[in-house]
Amino acid sequence: MPVPEDFAEAVLTLAEPAEGQAVVENLWLSVDPYMRECMDGDWELDTPLEGRSIGRVVESRSAELPIGSLVFHREGWRTHAVVSAAEVRVLPRYDGVATESFLGLLGGTGLTAYVGLTRIARLRAGETVYVSAAAGGVGTAAGRLARLLGAGRVVGSAGSPAKVRLLTEELGFDAAFDHRTGPSLHEQLGRVAPDGIDIYLDNVGGEHLEAAIGAMREHGRIAWCGAISQYSSGSAPAAPRNLFDLVEKSIRLEGFLVANYRQVQAELEEFLVPHLRAGHISDRLSVTEGFDRTVDAFLGMLRGENTGKSVVRLGRGDLESPCDTP
Ligand code: NDP
Which CATH number is 81's domain given?
Answer: 3.90.180.10
| Range(s) of the domain holding residue 121 | 108-259
Same domain? For 112 and 245 the reply is yes
Rounded Cα–Cα distance for residues 4 and 211 (Å) = 34
Same domain? For 40 and 136 the reply is no
**Cα 276 to ligand 1 centre (Å):** 23
* Ligand 1, CB cutoff 6 Å, lining residues: 32-34, 108-109, 112, 133, 135-139, 158-160, 163, 179, 203-204, 225-229, 256-258, 301, 304, 306, 309-310
The stretch 224-228 carries a mean pLDDT of: 97
Alpha-carbon dihedral sign for residues 113, 117, 119, 125: negative
Rounded Cα–Cα distance for residues 202 and 227 (Å) = 7
Q: Are 84 and 57 in contact (CB under 8 A)?
A: no
- Our count of domains for the chain comes to 2
For residue 7, the number of C-alpha atoms closer than 13 Å in the C-beta half-sphere is: 20
Rounded Cα–Cα distance for residues 182 and 13 (Å) = 52
Same domain? For 120 and 252 the reply is yes
CA-CA distances (angstroms) from residue 7 to 169, 196, 277, 286, 293? 38, 44, 39, 21, 12
pLDDT tops 70 at residue 324: no
Taking only the tens place, the pLDDT of each residue in 161-211 is: 999 999 999 999 999 999 999 999 999 999 999 999 999 999 999 999 999
- Please check whether residue 86 lies inside any domain of the structure: yes
What is the SS3 assignment for 202?
Answer: strand
Same domain? For 131 and 45 the reply is no
pLDDT tops 70 at residue 60: yes
Ligand 1 atom with minimal separation from the 137 CA: 25
